[in-house]
Amino acid sequence: MILAHAIGNQAEAAYRRGDLMVKRARVMKQWAAFLSTAPAQAGSVTPIRENKVAAE
């Protein structure tokens, strides 16, 4: 809902207008903090699956 661009009708838009801006601001601050955080050290990521090279 925070990133939604279209709201069904004017009545629904009026009800949502009040508190969504506060929620959106909080989420966007969290996103900015995430983006400005240094990446994890190399080697701290566990691969989900192994890359298999096809035999020639």
| pLDDT for res 23 | 82
Mean pLDDT of the residues in the chain:
76
pLDDT interval class at 11 (50, 70, 90): confident
Q: Classify residue 31 by burial, with Cβ atoms within 10 Å: 0-12, 13-18, 19+.
A: exposed
pLDDT of residue 32: 94
More confident residue, 4 or 14: 14
Q: How confident is the model at residue 33 (pLDDT cuts 50, 70, 90)?
A: very high
Asked if residue 41 has pLDDT above 60, the reply is yes
